[in-house]
């Protein structure tokens, strides 16, 4: 789901998914990238849902 940053500049989120694992197994996300876009994903437009510029990126360790 889309995440939103509060006026204090901090993103706080809790996400539950049985489709993702926090390890390096086949469904694991360790070693993959997390990309933050400037806007919201419209869940229709490719490739990034019309979410705008990439403003941050990090590798999940």
Percent of the chain with pLDDT over 90: 21
pLDDT at residue 21 in the model = 86
CA-based diameter of the chain, in Å? Answer: 37
Does residue 12 or residue 58 have the better pLDDT?
58
Q: How many CB atoms lie within 10 A of CB 36?
A: 14
pLDDT at residue 46 in the model = 86
Map out the domains of the chain as residue ranges.
Answer: 1-61
pLDDT tens digits, one per residue of 7-44: 998 888 878 888 888 888 888 889 999 898 999 889 89
pLDDT at residue 24 in the model = 84
């Amino acid at each position: 789901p889309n995440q939103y940053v509060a006026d204090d500049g901090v993103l706080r989120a809790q996400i539950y998914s049985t489709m993702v694992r926090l390890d390096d197994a086949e469904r694991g996300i360790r070693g993959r990238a997390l990309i933050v876009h400037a806007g919201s994903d419209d869940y229709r437009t490719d490739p990034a849902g019309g979410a705008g510029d990439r403003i941050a990126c990090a590798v999940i360790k």
